[in-house]
Structure 1
Amino acid sequence: MELTYYGYSRCETCRKAKNWLDEKDIAYNEHDIVQNPPNREELENLYKKSGLELKKFFNTSGKKYRELGLKDKIKSADEKELLDILASDGMLLKRPIVTDGENVTVGFKEEQFEEVWNK
């Protein structure tokens, strides 16, 4: 199955992930995470399948994250509210997000990509 890749062209980590996928000749359907981010329902599905804490989906080093003061908000908000916040702006999402419909990775760690996507 072809992967779905959500990334941002100006993100160095995204470029590393794309290069890795390209070098391994792994097909993917690319989505600009800013222009065409996953919607709330897709985000909830990605979150549930990832096995990660929802806060791992936030781009904590991003300007938008700091502007909105989300560091404290994340600690007290419930799942529904956090998903709504994430769905409001693609720049809030940690990237890249890669999925095959069952597996999900957030960010790029070569060892993790090797384990999950190099099958």
Structure 2
Amino acid sequence: MTMVKIYGIKNCDTMRKARKWLDTHNVVYDFHDYKTQGIDAETLSRWADLISYEKLLNKNGTTFRKLPEAEKTDLTEVRAVILMQTYPSLIKRPVIEYKEKIETGFNPEKYAMIFS
């Protein structure tokens, strides 16, 4: 079985749902808490290349809304990666890596298709 790596923040409600789904469906995974363990720019850039930084950056959360307006405007991939590395809460949760692909967010139907 291909190893799955799930990234997020331990105490996030969405993360709890995703990890519970994975556990219930016997999906073996490694969990990386980027709030406590950090996340490197290389990983964020690789993810942005795979799905685009727009899909990776959580613009709906409190952390993004609290940023100064100057940091939120005219975003580029490079600036977004720096912001996500500086403020890991800006990364959509969870991020799962599997078979050289990534997915963001938790959707039980999507997980069922991925891990069937």
TM normalised by structure 1 equals: 0.83
Query: For residue 40 of structure 2, what is the aligned residue in structure 1?
Result: 39
Give the alignment partner of residue 91 of structure 2, picking from 90, 93, 104: 93
Residues 77-116 of structure 1, C-alpha deviations (whole Å, 9 max, x = no match): 2211111111112111111111025110111011211122
Query: For residue 19 of structure 1, what is the aligned residue in structure 2?
Result: 20
Q: Which amino acid counterpart does residue 58 of structure 1 have in structure 2?
A: L
Query: For residue 67 of structure 2, what is the aligned residue in structure 1?
Result: 68
Q: CA deviation at 1:4?
A: 0.9
Q: CA deviation at 1:62?
A: 2.5
Taking structure 1 as reference, are residues 47 and 70 closer, same or farther at Cα in structure 2, changes over 3 Å only? farther
Say which SS state the counterpart of residue 112 (structure 2) adopts.
helix
Runs ≥4 residues deviating over 6 A:
none
Taking structure 1 as reference, are residues 19 and 67 closer, same or farther at Cα in structure 2, changes over 3 Å only? same
Say which SS state the counterpart of residue 4 (structure 1) adopts.
strand
Query: For residue 55 of structure 1, what is the aligned residue in structure 2?
Result: 54
Q: CA deviation at 1:60?
A: 2.4
Say which SS state the counterpart of residue 98 (structure 1) adopts.
strand
TM normalised by structure 2 equals: 0.85
In the alignment of these two chains, the number of paired residues is: 115
Return 5+ residue gaps in structure 2 as ranges.
Answer: none
Return 5+ residue gaps in structure 1 as ranges.
Answer: none
Q: CA deviation at 1:70?
A: 6.1
Question: Does structure 2 retain, via aligned residues, the 8 Å contact 1:59–1:93?
Answer: yes
Q: Which amino acid counterpart does residue 12 of structure 1 have in structure 2?
A: D
